[in-house]
Amino acid sequence: MCGLFGAVVVEPTLQDFYNLRSLFLKLESRGHHASGVAWVKDRMVHIHHEGIPAHEFVKGGTFSIQFMLDMVNEDRNLYILGHTRWTTSSPTDHQPLGDEEFALVHNGIVTGEPAEKWESLYGIKTDGGNDSELIWQTRVHSMVHPVHRFSTSSIAVCELYANKTLIAYRNHARPLAMYNDGRVTVFASTEEALKESGYDDEYNWGMVESYRDYICTVDKEKNVTKLHTKKYQRFFPDMTVAALGDK
Protein backbone atom coordinates (compact mmCIF):
# COMPACT_ATOMS: atom_id res chain seq x y z
CA MET A 1 0.00 0.00 0.00
CA CYS A 2 1.40 3.39 -1.05
CA GLY A 3 0.12 6.91 -1.52
CA LEU A 4 0.49 8.80 -4.77
CA PHE A 5 -0.62 11.92 -6.55
CA GLY A 6 -0.09 13.52 -9.93
CA ALA A 7 -1.08 17.11 -10.73
CA VAL A 8 -1.08 19.76 -13.42
CA VAL A 9 -1.80 23.27 -12.14
CA VAL A 10 -2.12 26.31 -14.39
CA GLU A 11 -0.38 29.34 -12.86
CA PRO A 12 -0.44 27.97 -9.30
CA THR A 13 -1.39 30.22 -6.40
CA LEU A 14 -0.16 30.04 -2.83
CA GLN A 15 -3.35 28.13 -1.96
CA ASP A 16 -2.56 25.55 -4.62
CA PHE A 17 0.79 24.89 -2.97
CA TYR A 18 -0.84 24.53 0.44
CA ASN A 19 -3.43 22.11 -0.99
CA LEU A 20 -0.78 19.92 -2.63
CA ARG A 21 1.35 19.88 0.49
CA SER A 22 -1.72 18.95 2.55
CA LEU A 23 -2.49 16.14 0.10
CA PHE A 24 1.08 14.88 0.32
CA LEU A 25 0.94 14.81 4.13
CA LYS A 26 -2.42 13.04 4.20
CA LEU A 27 -1.04 10.33 1.93
CA GLU A 28 1.57 9.50 4.56
CA SER A 29 -1.03 7.25 6.19
CA ARG A 30 -0.63 4.98 3.15
CA GLY A 31 3.16 4.79 3.39
CA HIS A 32 5.71 6.14 5.84
CA HIS A 33 8.93 4.38 4.81
CA ALA A 34 9.91 6.84 2.07
CA SER A 35 8.71 9.98 0.29
CA GLY A 36 9.45 11.55 -3.07
CA VAL A 37 8.44 14.04 -5.75
CA ALA A 38 9.09 14.61 -9.45
CA TRP A 39 8.49 17.71 -11.53
CA VAL A 40 9.14 19.11 -15.02
CA LYS A 41 11.43 22.10 -15.47
CA ASP A 42 14.17 23.07 -17.92
CA ARG A 43 12.73 20.54 -20.41
CA MET A 44 13.48 17.60 -18.16
CA VAL A 45 12.01 15.58 -15.32
CA HIS A 46 13.61 16.14 -11.92
CA ILE A 47 13.30 13.50 -9.20
CA HIS A 48 13.97 13.71 -5.48
CA HIS A 49 13.18 11.08 -2.86
CA GLU A 50 14.36 10.12 0.61
CA GLY A 51 13.84 7.21 2.97
CA ILE A 52 11.83 9.29 5.44
CA PRO A 53 8.09 9.84 6.09
CA ALA A 54 6.25 12.72 4.41
CA HIS A 55 6.11 14.97 7.48
CA GLU A 56 9.91 14.82 7.80
CA PHE A 57 10.29 15.30 4.06
CA VAL A 58 8.25 18.51 4.34
CA LYS A 59 9.86 19.66 7.59
CA GLY A 60 13.30 19.29 6.10
CA GLY A 61 12.44 21.84 3.42
CA THR A 62 12.32 19.44 0.48
CA PHE A 63 8.62 20.11 -0.05
CA SER A 64 8.46 23.60 1.44
CA ILE A 65 6.51 26.36 -0.28
CA GLN A 66 9.76 27.88 -1.55
CA PHE A 67 10.87 24.53 -2.93
CA MET A 68 7.51 24.16 -4.69
CA LEU A 69 7.82 27.65 -6.15
CA ASP A 70 11.12 26.57 -7.64
CA MET A 71 9.36 23.59 -9.26
CA VAL A 72 7.13 25.83 -11.40
CA ASN A 73 7.87 25.37 -15.08
CA GLU A 74 9.05 28.12 -17.43
CA ASP A 75 5.50 28.34 -18.77
CA ARG A 76 4.37 29.32 -15.22
CA ASN A 77 2.50 26.04 -14.72
CA LEU A 78 3.23 23.18 -12.33
CA TYR A 79 3.64 19.55 -13.43
CA ILE A 80 4.28 17.27 -10.46
CA LEU A 81 4.16 13.75 -9.00
CA GLY A 82 4.29 12.73 -5.35
CA HIS A 83 4.70 9.39 -3.60
CA THR A 84 4.63 8.05 -0.04
CA ARG A 85 5.95 4.52 0.16
CA TRP A 86 5.01 1.48 2.15
CA THR A 87 7.89 -0.86 1.39
CA THR A 88 6.93 -4.26 -0.02
CA SER A 89 10.11 -4.93 -2.01
CA SER A 90 13.53 -3.26 -2.03
CA PRO A 91 13.98 -1.01 1.03
CA THR A 92 16.19 1.44 -0.87
CA ASP A 93 14.71 1.86 -4.38
CA HIS A 94 12.21 4.63 -3.67
CA GLN A 95 9.73 6.43 -5.91
CA PRO A 96 9.22 8.29 -8.15
CA LEU A 97 11.11 6.02 -10.52
CA GLY A 98 12.46 7.27 -13.82
CA ASP A 99 14.94 9.47 -15.62
CA GLU A 100 15.08 12.93 -17.20
CA GLU A 101 12.53 11.95 -19.86
CA PHE A 102 9.87 10.09 -17.89
CA ALA A 103 8.99 9.26 -14.27
CA LEU A 104 6.17 7.39 -12.58
CA VAL A 105 4.63 6.67 -9.19
CA HIS A 106 2.85 3.39 -8.50
CA ASN A 107 0.50 2.08 -5.84
CA GLY A 108 0.10 -1.69 -5.72
CA ILE A 109 2.09 -4.88 -6.02
CA VAL A 110 3.39 -6.05 -9.40
CA THR A 111 4.88 -9.35 -8.24
CA GLY A 112 5.81 -11.22 -5.10
CA GLU A 113 8.66 -13.01 -6.85
CA PRO A 114 12.24 -12.08 -5.84
CA ALA A 115 14.06 -9.60 -8.08
CA GLU A 116 16.60 -12.18 -9.27
CA LYS A 117 13.79 -14.07 -11.04
CA TRP A 118 12.20 -11.13 -12.86
CA GLU A 119 14.24 -11.32 -16.05
CA SER A 120 13.54 -15.03 -16.50
CA LEU A 121 9.86 -14.65 -15.64
CA TYR A 122 9.05 -11.44 -17.52
CA GLY A 123 11.94 -10.91 -19.91
CA ILE A 124 12.62 -7.53 -18.32
CA LYS A 125 15.98 -6.32 -17.00
CA THR A 126 15.78 -4.01 -13.99
CA ASP A 127 18.36 -1.86 -12.26
CA GLY A 128 16.93 -2.22 -8.76
CA GLY A 129 14.72 -4.37 -6.59
CA ASN A 130 11.53 -2.30 -6.52
CA ASP A 131 8.87 -4.27 -8.42
CA SER A 132 7.34 -0.98 -9.63
CA GLU A 133 10.34 -0.71 -11.94
CA LEU A 134 8.81 -3.52 -13.99
CA ILE A 135 6.09 -1.04 -14.97
CA TRP A 136 8.61 1.67 -15.83
CA GLN A 137 10.74 -0.68 -17.93
CA THR A 138 7.62 -1.97 -19.70
CA ARG A 139 6.58 1.56 -20.62
CA VAL A 140 10.05 2.34 -21.96
CA HIS A 141 10.76 -0.88 -23.86
CA SER A 142 7.46 -2.58 -24.71
CA MET A 143 4.35 -1.90 -26.77
CA VAL A 144 2.19 -3.76 -24.24
CA HIS A 145 0.41 -1.66 -21.64
CA PRO A 146 1.51 -2.54 -18.07
CA VAL A 147 -2.00 -3.36 -16.83
CA HIS A 148 -2.22 -6.08 -19.46
CA ARG A 149 1.32 -7.33 -19.23
CA PHE A 150 0.85 -7.72 -15.46
CA SER A 151 -2.80 -8.67 -15.54
CA THR A 152 -2.86 -10.34 -12.10
CA SER A 153 -1.10 -7.43 -10.37
CA SER A 154 -2.58 -4.44 -8.53
CA ILE A 155 -1.82 -1.21 -10.36
CA ALA A 156 -2.59 2.49 -10.01
CA VAL A 157 -0.08 4.77 -11.71
CA CYS A 158 0.64 8.40 -12.54
CA GLU A 159 3.30 9.14 -15.16
CA LEU A 160 5.02 12.44 -15.91
CA TYR A 161 6.90 13.21 -19.12
CA ALA A 162 9.45 15.89 -20.00
CA ASN A 163 7.05 17.20 -22.66
CA LYS A 164 4.72 18.26 -19.78
CA THR A 165 2.20 15.44 -20.17
CA LEU A 166 0.66 13.66 -17.20
CA ILE A 167 -0.92 10.22 -17.69
CA ALA A 168 -2.92 8.33 -15.04
CA TYR A 169 -4.33 4.80 -15.19
CA ARG A 170 -5.31 1.87 -13.03
CA ASN A 171 -6.63 -1.67 -13.18
CA HIS A 172 -9.51 -3.21 -11.26
CA ALA A 173 -7.41 -3.92 -8.16
CA ARG A 174 -6.50 -0.34 -7.12
CA PRO A 175 -8.59 2.85 -6.92
CA LEU A 176 -7.54 6.25 -8.25
CA ALA A 177 -9.49 9.45 -7.57
CA MET A 178 -9.51 12.58 -9.73
CA TYR A 179 -10.26 16.30 -9.40
CA ASN A 180 -10.48 18.54 -12.47
CA ASP A 181 -11.81 22.12 -12.56
CA GLY A 182 -10.15 23.28 -15.78
CA ARG A 183 -7.25 25.02 -14.06
CA VAL A 184 -6.24 22.29 -11.65
CA THR A 185 -6.17 18.57 -12.42
CA VAL A 186 -5.14 16.21 -9.61
CA PHE A 187 -5.09 12.42 -9.34
CA ALA A 188 -4.63 10.73 -5.96
CA SER A 189 -4.78 7.32 -4.31
CA THR A 190 -7.94 8.00 -2.33
CA GLU A 191 -10.98 10.22 -2.54
CA GLU A 192 -10.71 11.06 1.17
CA ALA A 193 -7.23 12.53 0.78
CA LEU A 194 -8.39 14.68 -2.15
CA LYS A 195 -11.53 15.96 -0.46
CA GLU A 196 -9.71 16.75 2.79
CA SER A 197 -7.05 18.76 0.93
CA GLY A 198 -9.32 21.34 -0.68
CA TYR A 199 -10.37 19.35 -3.75
CA ASP A 200 -13.93 18.82 -2.56
CA ASP A 201 -16.19 20.36 -5.21
CA GLU A 202 -18.52 17.50 -6.10
CA TYR A 203 -18.99 18.80 -9.64
CA ASN A 204 -15.25 18.50 -10.36
CA TRP A 205 -14.54 15.26 -8.57
CA GLY A 206 -14.72 11.63 -9.71
CA MET A 207 -13.01 8.25 -9.95
CA VAL A 208 -10.68 7.10 -12.71
CA GLU A 209 -12.18 4.27 -14.75
CA SER A 210 -10.09 1.14 -14.94
CA TYR A 211 -8.25 0.22 -18.14
CA ARG A 212 -8.17 3.75 -19.56
CA ASP A 213 -5.37 6.29 -19.93
CA TYR A 214 -6.27 9.73 -18.56
CA ILE A 215 -4.02 12.16 -20.41
CA CYS A 216 -3.57 15.70 -19.08
CA THR A 217 -1.78 18.62 -20.76
CA VAL A 218 -2.19 22.41 -20.82
CA ASP A 219 -3.97 24.24 -23.64
CA LYS A 220 -1.56 27.13 -24.21
CA GLU A 221 -4.10 29.29 -26.04
CA LYS A 222 -6.89 28.99 -23.46
CA ASN A 223 -4.51 28.51 -20.51
CA VAL A 224 -6.53 25.64 -19.05
CA THR A 225 -5.81 21.98 -18.43
CA LYS A 226 -6.92 19.58 -21.16
CA LEU A 227 -7.99 16.12 -20.08
CA HIS A 228 -9.02 13.29 -22.35
CA THR A 229 -9.23 9.54 -21.96
CA LYS A 230 -8.20 6.70 -24.22
CA LYS A 231 -9.05 3.04 -23.86
CA TYR A 232 -5.96 1.07 -24.70
CA GLN A 233 -5.86 -2.06 -26.80
CA ARG A 234 -6.58 -5.27 -24.99
CA PHE A 235 -3.81 -7.85 -24.95
CA PHE A 236 -4.38 -11.38 -23.79
CA PRO A 237 -2.85 -11.95 -20.33
CA ASP A 238 -1.60 -15.44 -21.20
CA MET A 239 0.81 -14.23 -23.89
CA THR A 240 4.32 -15.58 -23.38
CA VAL A 241 7.36 -13.38 -22.81
CA ALA A 242 8.63 -14.35 -26.24
CA ALA A 243 5.36 -13.32 -27.85
CA LEU A 244 5.24 -10.02 -25.98
CA GLY A 245 8.82 -9.11 -26.83
CA ASP A 246 10.72 -6.04 -25.65
CA LYS A 247 11.26 -3.49 -28.38
pTM score of the predicted model: 0.90
pLDDT tens-digit series, residues 53-100? 878 888 877 788 888 999 999 999 999 999 986 555 556 668 899 999
pLDDT on residue 247: 28
Nearest to 188 by CA among 9, 10, 23: 23
pLDDT on residue 244: 34
pLDDT on residue 128: 85
Give CA torsion, residues 187, 192, 197, 198, to 10 deg. 90
Q: Is the pLDDT of residue 186 over 50?
A: yes
pLDDT tens-digit series, residues 133-160? 999 999 999 888 999 999 999 999 999 9
Nearby residues of 129 by Cβ (< 8 Å), 6 or more positions away? 89, 90, 92, 93, 115
Whether residue 114 has a cis bond before it, omega within 30° of 0: no
pLDDT on residue 85: 62
Confidence of residue 31 (pLDDT cuts 50, 70, 90): low
Q: Residues 175-191: what's their mean pLDDT? A: 95
Report the SS3 class of residue 23.
Answer: helix
CA 231 – CA 238 distance, rounded (Å): 20
pLDDT tens-digit series, residues 97-123? 999 999 999 999 999 899 999 999 999
